[in-house]
Every structure is written in structure tokens, then in C-alpha cells.
Chains A and B, each alone.
Chain A
């Protein structure tokens, strides 16, 4: 890094200063100021008003639902990520690259379209709608729909961390364990998992952050029933639309807190994860 500071290739001092100042201005304007605005608005009427907004029964119900949805969606996608990592990372077979592209597909689909396809399948007029209605198991405008939408949008996070890593580490160590007599479970738990643990944790954190914060897809399938199908991001929208700006930002600080913790963990885990990749 020092080499750059001395070398002519990094341009003249004036250019360097100008670029540095411009970069800091962009960072400040686009990233720091919005972050500061969330907290400034949340505490605009003082700490008591902030606490009242956060402790409101509707906010607590939304918090509980958000945690419940994440607690179901994240383990499902972690299990999927491990299976995909094993099948697509450790083995070569025809159609593998197509499968890899399909795993990433949910990232390319608009969240609104993701929610909409669930309505098309599970909604009142959908393919499975009549059957679900007959068995009194509502999916759309109910918690199962919110879980499905969340699973859809967080689908690739763990798999896309694990597949390239498991591919890079190869399978010699696992084969050695097998030859020495270890069973599948022992091999997996004692050899494979320790090799990928930081990437697994990294992917799980990203998956959790997105599961907690998803808005568009969940918005389509939730029906916005207060206290019942409102997640935290939806509750923020409801409060904002009712012109309770301070309340909306107070609830938003909870989500912003999750985002900031995610960024810190990403920074801390990032280096270990890169070392694992070598």
C-alpha cells in the first residue's frame, strides 16, 4: 500500500487529494447522512417517545413475527446451502452449471414478482388456492406466505458462499477420512464443516439480515393485518403512511441496528472467510 503513496502511478498530490475528498463526499452523502437521519428522526421527540414507539404492542407483535419468520426461513436455507454445497461443490455432473445459475435466480427476480408468483400459486384463485381453502390452511395473507416469500428471497445466500468454497477445498481430506474408516456423519462434522465454518457463518448472517429486512416480497403476500401479519419492515411502512414519522423511524432503528451488526460481523468475518478460500 505504501508503494502506491510514493509511486508516480497514483497521480499527483493534487489529484489524490481531489479524489480522496470526492470519495469521502460520496460516502458521506449517500451512506452516512441517511444513517444519521434514521436516528435523528427516531429521537426527535425525545427518548420517552422513542421507547413508547418501540414498546407499542403492534411494534412488539411485528418484532415477534419477524423473528419467527427468520427462525423458520434461515435454518431451511442453511440446510439447503449445505446440501447444495455438497452436491455442487464436491461433485461434477452434467447440468451442474445450469443448476448453479438457477440457485442464483432469486437474486435476479424483483421482490414484487417473487411475492406475486406465490399469490398465483397459493392465492384464492391460484392453482392450489381452492384446495388450501377447503383444508382451512391459508397461505397468502397469512404467516406461511410470509415465510415462503422470505425463503424465496434469501434462497441463494448460504449456497453461493459454500459451493465455490467446497469446490476449492476439493475432497481429498474427506476421502482420506473415509479410507480411515470414518462414516459419512463423522466425515461431514469433523472434516467438511470445520473447513467451511466461517463461510457458513458469513452466509447465514447475510441470509438472516435479508430475512429480517425483506419488504417487497413480504408486502405482496402479507395483507398488512396489524398485530397479525405485519413484520417489522411492514410496520415501518404502516406508521410512515399514517404520518407517524417519529414512530416509523423508531421502529426503523431496530432494523438499522440489525444492519449495522451485520456490517460489523461481515467486516470481522470477511478476512477469515477469505483465508478459508485459499
Chain B
């Protein structure tokens, strides 16, 4: 008995699956974001410029970008240290410590926010000794930085770990046998390999820091001109029904997020090979 020829495309369900994907994506994500873009486009550019240049808004944008940048850099360095030790040292309880790295992802931001605030408040476990040293943390920009580093660490560790695991030890042996010191081996052999992952982790932490609200709102103290981050100012404007003010600021954040998303995609293409697995 002769079987009918098999169609080249015999897997069914492409149409319905794609249709549902597109519909859900449009309803949940694209339509609401399009509403924001449209209402920003309806505003005269001069109006947006005026809102963004107002001292309180400009201060919050400077603070948000500056702190997100600095915290992402610190998180990338601390993440490199943690990833290095977790991959290369045989620590007791390594699996437990490794699981703990994701805590900032898993812990609701409001809980992280009140916990960090209580710790770093002038009468807290860490805040009291730090205040005695003349370094107040809670309700200062430094406090916001601490919260953002807390959030950024897992991004750096999780992008670096797979790259560190996949590095061929023989390359380092070769460098050492050719007379390189440990420092030279790290700088000239390891670091170039790690750089794409480090940059990816940094960008992800930076993007997260720009938009962060929950863990920052408690520790910042929310003083206009001093410790008021952009997401918080958006919230304030919404509560005052100042939709134009909120829209202008949200548009700035959205454009920054888009550019960072593009940068991360480029970085992942750059790290083709080990880092792309991430």
C-alpha cells in the first residue's frame, strides 16, 4: 500500500499559535506603550523640553542616571568577584550560596526596600556604625546606590558565570607557562574574554536601576532636588493628575530603556560563543 507523500510543513498550529502570540502581545504590551508614545508625540516638543528642563525634573533625571550608572559599575565589579569565587573556589555550601545570588530577583522590591531602609537607618544595624563614622546612608543618594547595587548584583553574576565556566583552562596554563604573571594572565587573557559578559551584566543592571521604584522609594527619603528619582517623580505627577509632566518624564525613561535593550542585543551578538548562551 502506498502512503501519501508527507508535506514539507507537516507541523500544524503555526497560524493559531502566532495569532494568539500577536494578539496577546498587542493587547498587553504594545497597545499601552503605543498610548504613551502617542500622547508624548501629541505634546509640542518645546513643552516636553520645558518640563524636562525644569530644575526639579532635571535634578531627578541627573540623579537617576548618575546613580544607576555608578551602581551598575559597582554591581558589575562585585558580581565579577562573586562569579569568580563561586566558579573557581570550592566553597563549602557552594550550591546554597549560588542559589542565594538570585535573592534580589525573587524578593519583592517593597520588602527589599523596607529591609534595606531599616538596616541603614541612623539607628539600624549597619546605619548606626556608619553614621558614627560620618557616613549617613539611608535618606541620602548613597542609600539609593546601595539599593541599586543590591538589585544589580545578580545580573552581573548570572551573565558572567556561564562564561567563566566555559573558559578553557589550557589557555591560562599556556599564558602562565609562557611566563605571564597571574595579574598579566587576568588582564591580557581572561579579561578580554569576560568583557562582553561584564558589559552585558552592567547594561542590564543599569536598565533595571533606571526604572527601579520599590526598593528605592523607602531608602531615598524622596526629597525633591536631592533624593527624588525619576520613577518616583512620575508617581508624584500622576497623583497630582499632572499627566503631561508624567508623560514627558516617562518618555525619557522609555527611550533610555529602548536604547539599552538595543545595546544589550548588540553586546550579546558581540559575545557570540560562550556569552551568547546566557
Binding site for B on A (CB under 8 A): 1-5, 7-12, 15-16, 19-20, 22-24, 26-27, 29-35, 37-38, 41, 76, 79-80, 83-84, 86-88, 90-91, 93, 99, 101-106, 108-114, 116-121, 125-127, 148, 151-152, 155, 171, 174-175, 178-179, 184, 188, 206, 209, 212-216, 219-220, 232-234, 236-237, 240, 245, 248-249, 252, 255-256, 258-260, 262-264, 266-267
Contacts and interface: CB of A to CB of B under 8 A. Distances in A.
A34, A41, A79, A102: which has the most chain B beta carbons within 10 Å?
A: A34
Given A31-B103, A219-B213, A256 B111 contact: yes
Interface in B89-114: 89-91, 95-112, 114
B164 to A, nearest CB: 11
A120 B243 contact: yes
Given A209-B106, A233-B111, 8 more contacts: A1-B90, A9-B173, A9-B182, A31-B101, A37-B119, A99-B22, A120-B36, A213-B107
Given A83-B21, A120-B243, A236-B110, A108 B99 contact: no
Interface in B18-38: 18, 20-22, 24-25, 28-33, 35-36
A209 to B, nearest CB: 5
A93 to B, nearest CB: 8
B21 A84 contact: yes
B153 to A, nearest CB: 6
- Where chain B touches its partner, the secondary structure class is helix
A155 B28 contact: yes
Contacts of A245: 114, 118
Interface size range on B against A:
35 or more
B32 A120 contact: yes
B232 to A, nearest CB: 8
